[in-house]
Amino acid sequence: MQKTEWYKNAVVYQIYPFSFMDANNDGMGDIEGILSKLDYIKELGVTAIWFSPLYRSPDYDYGYDISDYKDIDPQFGTMADFDRLLVECHKRGLKVIMDMVLNHTSTEHQWFKEALSSPDSPYRDYYIIRKGKTEKGKLLPPTNWASTFTGSAWERIGETDEFYLHLFAKEQADLNWENPAVRKEIVDILNFWLAKGVDGFRFDVFNMFSKVYPLQDDHQKHTFQTGAQYFVDGPRMHEFLKEINEKALSLYDTFTVGESFHPSVEAAKEYVRPENHELDSIFSFGHFGSDTIASKQFFWKPMNLRQFKEGLLGPQIENYGSGWNTLVIENHDNPRAVSRFSIDTKHYRYEAGSMLAMITYLGYGTPFIYMGQEAGFTNTDFKSMDQLKDSVSHFVYDLMLSYHIPKGLAFRFIKYGARDHARVPMAWNDSVNGGFNAGHEPWQCVNPLYKKINIKADLESSRSLIRFYQKLLAFRKDNETILQGAVTEFDHEHKKVIAYSRTWKKDCLFIFANFSNKPVSYTLPEAISPTAVLMSNYSDLKLDGRTAELKPYQAVVLQAETES
Ligand code: TEU
C-alpha cells in the first residue's frame, strides 16, 4: 500500500476516555460523551484523535492492562458505539489512532488465565515464566529486577516455585515476543482494528518488547536494579517491528507513534528511519526531565531551560530529513504543563500556556495536544493521598515512607509529579462537576478550580487560550516552512530565552520566547534579519532595531531573511 504520509500535516488530540465526558452520568467518561464533543475537537483545528485504551480492562492501570484486545470496555459503551465513533470522526475528517499496549496484557486476559490453568498449557509460553532462585533456603525471584512501578518485577505464581515477569504492575504480565504464536496474535489484533478502518496506533512502551536471554541479574550499582539494559531496545526489537509492519501496518495507510522507555539515541533513530519500515515516529520526552531530578517524575527541581531546549529541539535537529518527530508538552502520564517547568501560573497562565504552544508546535513534527491543555488546565490542589486514584502515586508514596521520608514531604513530592493531575475530569463549564456529567460523583475528583477554569469560560474570555490554539494551528496548517523546514537553534546558553529558526527553500521563520515571568531584553542573532512580525501571544512587540523587549512569557514568530 502506497503511504500518503497524511500524518505529516496532522494535529493529534489525545483523549483519556475515563475523564473526557460522562454522558450516562455514572461517574466515568464514555463513548457517547466523546461523540457529543467531536465538533468542539474539530473546531480546534486538529485532524486526528488518539484514544487512550478503550478496550476491556480491569483497570488496575486504567486501561493499560487489557483483558480483551478485540472488545470495548462496557463502561465506555459497546463495539457498535465504537463503530459509530469511527464513522463520526471520519465524517468530520478526523483520523482515529488507537492505543496499543503490547508489552503486557492484563492478568485477567484469557491467555494468562489459560497459562496459569495448567503447567502444560501452550499459553504458558505466551508469558515470561521462570523458576525462582533458592538462596539459603529462601525462594527468590528469578532476577533482581525492579518493576517500573516499584517492587520486584516478578510475581510468584501461587505456592509454586515459579514467577511471571511484570515490568509494570503485577496485574500487567509481560508478553513473550520470542514466541511466534504471540506475534501472530498481535498481527491479528492489529489487522482486526485496521480492517475496521482505524488509521493508526500509538504503541505503549514498545521498546521493551524484546528481552535479552537468558534473563540475568542486574549487577549495576544503582539504588534499584531495574535490569533496564536487559529489556530496553533489546536485540530483536527491529526484527519485531519490521514483522508487524510487514504483516499489518504496511497493508493500510497508517500512522504509528511509539512510546518508548528511555531509548538510546541510536536505537531511537533506527526505529523511525523510513527505509527500515518500523515506526513512523516516536515520542520525545527529553524536555520533561528538565524540572525533575534525574528525570524522576516525582522529584522536583527548578527548571533548567537548557535541558528543556535539548529535549524539545534536539530530536528535531537530529532527525531532520530522516525520521519523523512528534511535538508533545502534556499527556496522561504527566502533570499539567502550565503548573510545572517553574512557570508562574498564578500570574501568567494564559501567557505561559500560549508560549508553550508556540515553541512546541512550530517545531518539526506532528503536534499532540492533551485534552484540556488547550484551555490551560492546571494541576489540582489535592488534599490527601486518598484523592489520588493512580496506583503509581501510591506505590511511590509507600516507597518513600519505607525510606523514612516524612509523610508531609512524601505527599508534596507525589503531588508534584502525579499522573492524576492529567486525569481529573474535564471541566467543560461551571455547572456541577464542571459539566463532566449531570452530578454523579466522578471516579476521580474534579479540580475545584473548574468554576473559573473551564472550556466555556475560556471560550468566552477575551484572552481565550482555545482561540489562540485555533489561530496557531491555522497558522501552522499548510505552512511549508513549518511542515518541512530545517530547525536551527540559537542562543542555546541563554537562561531565559528559547530561540530557533525554521528554514525551507528561501523562506525563514524565527521563533523565540521569554521563558520567564520577568521582562527580558533579547538581541536577535546576527544571522536573522526580521522583515515582519507574523504572530505573538501579546498584542504588540517592542522591537527596537535588533533588540526585542519581551514581556513575561512572550513568544514571537518573525518572518526573516537569513544569510544562508
Ligand atoms: O507509560 C510508560 C511509562 O513508563 C511512564 O510514562 C510511566 O507513566 C511513568 O514511568 C510513571 O512514573 C505507559 C503508559 O503511558 C502509562 O499510562 C502506563 O501506565 C504504562 O505505559 C504501562 O502500560
> What is residue 394's DSSP assignment?
H
Give the pLDDT confidence score for residue 495 in this predicted structure. 97
The secondary element (H helix, E strand) that includes residue 398 is helix 391-402
Angle between helices 265-272 and 237-247 (to 10 degrees): 20
CA distance 231 to 210: 6
CA distance 140 to 163: 9
Sheet strands (E) in 37-83:
48-51, 55-56, 68-72
Residue 134 class from Cβ within 10 Å (0-12 exposed, 13-18 middle, 19+ buried)? Answer: exposed
Task: Mention every residue, 6+ apart, whose C-beta is less than 8 A from residue 218.
Answer: 143, 144, 145, 225, 226, 227, 228, 229, 230
* Residue 332 CA, closest ligand 1 atom number: 17
Parts of the chain with a pLDDT under 50: none
259 is catalytic: yes
From ligand 1's centre to the CA of 118, what distance in Å?
Answer: 31
204 is catalytic: yes
CA distance 89 to 181: 34
Which residues form the pocket of ligand 1, taking CB atoms under 6 Å from any ligand atom? 61, 64, 101, 148, 168, 204-205, 259, 261, 297, 332-333, 392, 419
Mutate to test the pocket of ligand 1, among 148, 207, 326, 413 (most ligand atoms within 8 A of CB): 148
Which residue has cell 504588540?
540
CA distance 30 to 75: 7
Give the pLDDT confidence score for residue 563 in this predicted structure. 65
Task: Mention every residue, 6+ apart, whose C-beta is less than 8 A from residue 203.
Answer: 100, 102, 256, 257, 258, 259, 279
Answer left, alpha or beta for residue 233, where phi above 0 means left and psi between -120 and 50 means alpha: left
Say which of 73, 243, 259, 291 is annotated catalytic. 259
The number of beta carbons lying within 10 Å of the beta carbon of residue 409 is 10
Residues 389, 350: contact at Cβ < 8 Å? no
Give the pLDDT confidence score for residue 115 in this predicted structure. 98
Give the pLDDT confidence score for residue 295 in this predicted structure. 81
Task: Return the percent helix, strand and coil in the chain, to nearest 5.
Answer: 35, 20, 45
- Report pTM: 0.98
Give CA separation, 20 vs 15, 94, 426, in Å: 7, 17, 5
